[in-house]
Structure 1
Amino acid sequence: MSENMQYLQSVSQLHGMFGFDKPTHPLISVVDVAEWEIPEAYLNLKMVSNLYSIGMKDKNCGLQYGRNSYDFDEGVLFFSAPSQVHSITKPQKRNEVQGWTLFFHPDLIRHTALGKTIDKYKFFSYDVHEALHLSEAEQKTITDCVNLIKNEISERIDNHSQTVISTSLELLLNLSMRYYERQFNTRAAQNTDFVSQFQFLLKDYYESGKFSEKGSPSIEYFSEKIHLSANYLSDLLKKETGQNAKEQIQQFIIDKAKTLLLSESDSVSGIAYTLGFNYPHYFSRLFKNKTGMTPQEYRQLN
C-alpha cells in the first residue's frame, strides 16, 4: 500500500481517522463539517473509500476529486460513490467550513428497494465541478431530509429504523435528481454548446477514419475532450436531445450505414468494418434492432 493512500472500509474507521466520536449506527453517519479538523499531516493524502457520501458545504474546503479541485463560494451539494479517489489539498480548522456530510456503507441498502435502484443516480459519478447548486429553499429541503436521518440514527434502533433511513435516503436522492434537472434547464445555452461540441467531435471522428481504425468511440473519448464526466455528459445530452451519449453514437452509425448501403457498392461486411465493427453480425444486429430490418433488406427495399 502506498504511504499516501488510505483505504476507508467502514464508517467506524472514518470516525477514528478524523477523531470523531464513535458512530451511533455502524453503517451510516452524518458529520458536522464545522467540527472537521484536517491537520497538515493529511495534506496530499489520497483516500479510496468504500462508502457513499453526500455533502453540503458553504465554501472551498480543499477537497480534490479525481483530477478536479472542489472550489466554490456558495452552498452546493456533491456526491461520491465507493471506490472513488479523493485527495486532501489544504488543512482545515474547526468552524472554518459550515455544512454536513452524510456517509453510508453499501450494506445499509443492499436488501432494500433503494439498493436495487442506486445505480440510476448517476450523479454519484459526476465530477466535483459538476456539483449541484441549490437555492436556499432547496438547501433547506435537502437538509431537512438529512436531519430526519440524523435523528433516526441518534435514537434507539428498532424494527422500523432500516425502512425510515432507506426511504429518507431515497427521498433525498430523488429530490437531488429533480434539482439537477432544474440545473440543466437553467444552463440551456451552455448545454447547447456542449451538444454542438459532441456532435462536431463525432462527425470529425468518422471523417478522419477513426471508426475503421479504432472502432466506435467511447463516451469517455468525448467527455475528456469536452471536460465533463462521462455520466454528466450523457445526462446532459439526454436532457437536450432525448438521447444519451450511447444512443447518439448508435444513431449516428445507423444514419451513416443507411447512406453507405444506398450509395456504395461495398458489401455489408465492408460497411460494417468502415463503421468500426470487427464482426459484421454485430453491425447487422444493431441495424435490425434500430430499423426493424437487416442491412441487406434495407438495401433491397430502397
Structure 2
Amino acid sequence: MKTEKKEMFTFNSIPEFHRILGIAQPDHPLISVINFEDLGDLAPEVSEKAMYNFYMICMIRKFDGKIRYGQHYFDFDEGQVSFFSPGQILSSDDNAREGWILIIHPDFLRDYPLGKSIKNYGFFSYEIYEALFLSEKEETILNGVADSIVHECRTNTDQFSQNIIVSLVEVLLNYADRFYNRQFLTRKHVNHDILTKLENILADYFESEKVSELGLPTVEDIAAQLFVSPHYLSDMLRSLTGFNTQQHIQNKLIDKAKQSLAATTLSVGEIAYQLGFSHPQSFNRFFKSKTDLSPLAYRRSFN
C-alpha cells in the first residue's frame, strides 16, 4: 500500500508561529522573544520537521529533550546559544526546558545596515553542535539584552522603538561574536588538534596527484574531513592564527610552489600545471600577489 508523503510545514510569519504554539500574539509582528517556560506541549508543526523563514537565536538551559538538525539529534545541558538563519529546517523532541528564543523576521532589519551585515556573523551558518557555551556572567549579559528587547517591544512603541531594538539586536550579536572568540581561545587544546589535522590533510593533499588533477581543495571539503562546518572552521582558524581556511590552503600552495622553485629544475609552467593552474600566467599573478616576487625572481634569489 502506498503511503502518502507528509508535506513539511513552513513558518513564514511570527504571529503564525505564536498561534501554532498556542501563546499570545507578539507585541510586534516582526520580532518576538518567547520564554520556553511559557510553552506547553508542542504542536506537530513544531515538533516535526519544519522550515523557519526568520532568524532565530535560542538560549537554552536545562533542555530535557533533543533538537533535530539535519540527520542528527543533539542534547543540551546548560547555557548554550544556537543561531539559525532563514530557511533552515528544525524539529524538536522536548520536555521541560528553560531559556528563550529571539525571533526576527528579515523584514524587520531590511531598511537598516544590519539587514545586510547580519550575514557576516558566521555563527548563523554553524552546525547546532557548534553552539556557544556561556559562562554564568556571559549568560547574564545576553539575558539582559533580551530583557531590554522585550521591554522596548512592550512599553515604548514610538518612532524610536525600531531603531533601539535593531541596535539591541546588534549588541547581542556583537556580544555573541566576542563570546565565540573567547570559546575558541579557551578550547585551544581541542582547536589545536583540529589545526594539526588540517595541516596533515593539506600536506597529504599537496604531496599527492590530487592538486594537479582536481585543483585546490575547497573549504567545504576540508571542513567535512574535520567534521566541522565551513564557517566555524574559518572563524576558529582566524581566531587562533589570523588566517581563515582559504588563506591556509593558499599558504600551503605557496609553500609547495617555493619548494619546487628552489629545489627542482622544473619550468615555471610545469610547476604551475603540477599545482592545478590551467595557465602559467595565472600562477605567476597568484605567486607575485602573495610574495611580491615573480616565480622566476624567487628562483633567481637561490642562485
Unaligned stretches of 5+ residues in structure 2: none
Query: Does residue 140 of the first structure (1) align with residue 143 of the second (2)?
Result: no
Partner of residue 108, structure 2: 108
How many Å separate the matches in 2 of 1:42 and 1:107?
23
Change (3 A) 1:43 1:85: closer
Contact 1:63–1:87 (CA under 8 A) maintained in structure 2: yes
CA distance in 1, matches of 2:234, 2:79: 25
Contact 1:68 1:128 in 2 (8 A): no
Describe the shift of the 1:285–1:5 C-alpha distance in structure 2 as closer, same or farther (beyond 3 A). farther
- CA positional deviation for 1:193: 0.7
* Cα displacement (A) at 1:106: 1.6
Question: Displacement, 1:151?
Answer: 1.2
- Which residue in the other structure is 2:59 paired with? 56
| Partner residue in 1 for 2:80 | 76
Contact 2:20-2:43 within 8 A present in 1 as well: no
Question: Structure 1 residues 300 and 38, CA, compared in 2 at 3 Å: closer, same or farther?
Answer: farther
60-69 or 191-200: which moved more?
60-69
1:21 to 20, 24, 27: 24
TM-superposition CA deviations, 1:60-97 (whole Å, max 9, x none): 44212234433122121111111222233x2x35xx11
Q: Which stretch shifts more, 18-27 or 188-197?
A: 18-27
Count how many residue pairs are aligned between Structure 1 and Structure 2: 297
The yes-or-no answer on 1:66 pairing with 2:73 is no
- Indicate whether 1:186 and 2:176 are aligned: no
For residue 276 of structure 1, give the secondary structure of its aligned residue in structure 2: coil
| Equivalent position to 1:31, from 30, 34, 37 | 34
Q: CA RMSD in A?
A: 2.0
Equivalent in the alignment of 1:174: 174
User: 1:268 — aligned with what?
Assistant: 268
**How far does residue 208 in structure 1 lie from its aligned partner after superposition?**
2.3
Query: Structure 2 CA distance, aligned partners of 1:115 and 1:43?
Result: 26
Is the contact made by 1:211 and 1:217 (CA closer than 8 Å) also made in structure 2?
yes
Secondary structure of the residue aligned to 2:166 is: helix
Does residue 11 in structure 1 map to residue 14 in structure 2?
yes
Query: How high is the TM-score relative to the length of structure 2?
Result: 0.90
Change in Cα spacing, 1:192 to 1:22, as seen in structure 2 (3 Å) is same
Shift of 1:143: 0.6
What is the one-letter code of the residue matched to 1:143? N
Q: Distance in 2 between matches of 1:184 and 1:6?
A: 36
